[in-house]
A and B are shown apart, each in its own frame.
Chain A
Amino acid sequence: MDRSGSYKRGYPVVVFPDGNPWGAEERLPRFVVIKIPGIPVGTFSKYINEWRRLNPITGEIEVLQRRRWQIRWADLPQSARNKLASQGELTIRAGGYSGPADYSWSQIKQYFRNLETGLDETEEL
């Protein structure tokens, strides 16, 4: 069965500005929120792009996977997984933000994998 159109664990779904009032179902058990205060929506938008290609036979754009990027959920630090499972959110420090955080982007970016290249994220936000 082709599940290329389905979301998989670790796919970022949407990106919203700081303070977004999440809906009743946009939380555990199905979803968690990763907060990166102060980073513009546009900077993070690449993580919700679909992995697409031009079909050489049909000439149409087709979706290979719902997302080009996936968070390697099973490889996250145990403390991160525990907090996500219990509280449903994680705060990441990046850019000029100096407030409370669970991790820095430098610590966590390695768990963001580009499915097309197979490489983990190395860029700063």
Chain B
Amino acid sequence: MSHETFEYELGERQIAFTIDESVYNRGAIFGTAYLFVDRCFLWLSQPKEGALRVQLKTKESATPDVLHALAGEFANELLNQMVRQQVSQSTQRIREYYMGRAFYGDDTRASIDALLAELDAEELSEEPLEISVPWDTSGAGGTGA
């Protein structure tokens, strides 16, 4: 049976179709299957090299239209997974760069002493509220809360 160019096999509560692995890679297929595990029962097989057969079985009774819609959702999610993979690959280097900077940035700037020195360098006496701070022992600040 086919609908336009989508060939599939219908059974009771189930629909099966074959995916060309040269179009959708194994990772995308597995990622899609993972998202459908809670919705239906899945069974995967490899009828021949480069092709992966997916059989979806609904948990409750389903009409042919429902089954066809389910297969269509699976196909759409396959495309989504492929795009995710492409975006992930194209941004891999910059993500690694930012992660590296976040975890292994310049140590001197991250030190507590450096931060305190930075605060000391600020002109706190011009603070309009004159809130006292622990390291200010001059008594110039106002009373705290």
| B and A form one assembly | no
Interface residues of A (CB under 8 A from B): none
